[in-house]
A and B are shown apart, each in its own frame.
Chain A
Amino acid sequence: MAQIEQKDGGKKKKGAQKKMAIHVDFTPMVDMNMLLITFFMLCTTMIKSQTLQIVLPTNEDVRKEQQSQAKASEAVTLILDTEYNGDTPKVDPETGKTIHNIYYYEGVADTLFQTNKYLRKEQFIGNVNHEPQGIRKILRDKNKQVMEEYQTLKERWKNKEITKEEFDKLAKKNASDSLKTRPVVVIKPGPNTTYEGLINALDEMNINQISRYSIELPTHTDTLLLKHFEQANNETIIRPTVRQTASKATAAAAAPAPQQ
């Protein structure tokens, strides 16, 4: 293969040089290529990052009358919390994932604790055997009408009746269809929530096609509910903020900027 055979055209003439088969050794070439491949393999990113789009309201003061009030029957409030083990988030030894808890209530906060449904605890479980579990199941049940339509749209897209663009457009329209009963979700990340907890919550909004949601900070009412829940269930939810030093670090970073 690598040798070039040269025909000597029949008879050998006397005194003519004997032609040698030229044999090129490719081993160093392969060595070098392998090195280059290794280099490129180590330096590349094959998977590109994904993004989650988010739109926040302005933080200018909006007068109470101008704020849109959600119907109590549609509102769901999720208070997020991440379990900590000392200084680092607690990890489930089986799955290797951080444990996030969600305390949720529907409608207006029941500060009189008349029913035992004033606060319920859930977790992000996702799907088990293609069936939604945990908080996903609860949100899906709340958004049943939209999800039913969404499933038929998805079916049509999978059967190639509509293109991906059409599907996206229709799904968006479906998610914000005011004729359907849709929940309004208020996500309240508690002081110990990690970024992953927030992303998980936003992700559930995407999965369950919930178009109306907002991110707010927990109020005193929420703390009250959590406190009561703690006592009733013998749990500790409200802990001193684990990462108090974090704010110190940012303050220190800001310090060298001289003030005039």
Chain B
Amino acid sequence: MGKVKIKRKSTLIDMTAMSDVTVLLLTFFMLTSTFLQKEPTIVYTPSSVSEEKVPMNNVVTVLVSSADKSGKLDDPTVAEGKLFISFTGDADSTLSSENIRGMMLDEAIAIYNEQHKNNQVNLTPAEKAQFRSMNMFGVPFTELKNMLDMSVTERDKFQGNMTDPRVGIPIDGNKNREGRLNDFQIWLKAIYNVAQRINNEQAAGLSPEERANLSNLYAALMRKGQGIAIKADKDTPFTTVQLVFDNLQTMKLNKFSLMTALKSEDEPTK
């Protein structure tokens, strides 16, 4: 009997088309992506129907940490109500986020040293450079130097530990704008001063109409109320958030925005 010869087919699959598709997908993701900013703690914002987007530039984000949800702590609320600040500058190279951070730091330290003459904070240029490259920070002025001396991984670990009493910008109840400010208020004052200074520089020699159309941090703070965005967890008690509101009111920064996720009007709230 003659054997029937089966012609063996090659199992090679041509991957060129597949490669084309993946490259296209890759291009799409690369172009649409904005990288997640590193934040020391995760918060889940409540949702609202407001469709206004968080601005890309010229915004100061205040993050309020939430109670510990891992269930590992005896008292989950020790992790709650810690403040972190991040600065985002213009896309413009002279006022990039790095430069804005540097200016804010210099201003805030000047105010702090003015108020605490016996306990001044002096940072080396290397430490300042470290601060400029950091997205979000949340330590009292007294811990600033210590924190900036750490390596990046150490720092993330340090700031990510919400139970550490050294983490979080102090926000006690000072209600006097002219008196001794708490750390959070010093930062707010620095934000205002720097924004105003930049605005004055940019507005010099412009007509009133052009001045009204300037889009810098000062305009965002004063006119649009988009300069400061508060990001808090939906389960954070109102009393904690109110403390932040109170400090903003004390510093006369009454217009600000609250970060929310989007939901539709028809979505049941209950």
Contacts and interface: CB of A to CB of B under 8 A. Distances in A.
B1 interface: no
Interface in B220-270: 225-226, 229, 231-243, 245-246, 248-250, 252, 254-262, 265-270
A251 B268 CA distance: 38
Contact of B267 (A49, A88, A126): A126
Given A53-B225, A194-B234, A252-B165, A40 B254 contact: no
Q: Is the interface of A mostly helix, strand, loop or mixed?
A: mixed
Q: For chain A, give the interface size range.
A: 35 or more
A58 interface: yes
A126 B266 CA distance: 7
A257 B270 contact: no
Contacts of A45: 33-36
Contact of B232 (A33, A195, A251): A195
Interface in B77-103: 77-82
A51 B25 CA distance: 30
A50 B48 contact: yes
A176 B56 CA distance: 30
Contacts of B237: 191-195, 242-243, 246
Given A43-B35, A44-B29, A256-B165, A51 B22 contact: no
A162 B260 CA distance: 28
B259 A50 contact: yes
Interface in B161-191: 165-172, 175, 182-183
Interface in A43-69: 43-59
A191 B22 CA distance: 53
Q: For chain B, give the interface size range.
A: 35 or more
Interface stretch (A9-17, A24-32, A71-79, A231-239): A24-32
A50 B248 CA distance: 20
Contact of B26 (A37, A243, A247, A249): A37
B15 A2 contact: yes
A260 interface: yes
A197 interface: yes
Contact of B15 (A26, A59, A243): A26
A36 interface: yes
Interface of B: 12, 14-19, 22-23, 25-26, 29-30, 32-36, 45-54, 67, 75-82, 116-119, 140-143, 165-172, 175, 182-183, 225-226, 229, 231-243, 245-246, 248-250, 252, 254-262, 265-270
20 contacts: A27-B15, A40-B30, A49-B53, A49-B261, A50-B260, A52-B52, A54-B257, A125-B269, A127-B266, A127-B268, A130-B266, A191-B238, A199-B46, A203-B49, A245-B77, A246-B239, A246-B240, A249-B81, A253-B167, A254-B170
Given A43-B33, A51-B226, 11 more contacts: A1-B17, A2-B14, A26-B18, A51-B260, A52-B257, A57-B249, A87-B76, A193-B238, A253-B167, A253-B169, A258-B119
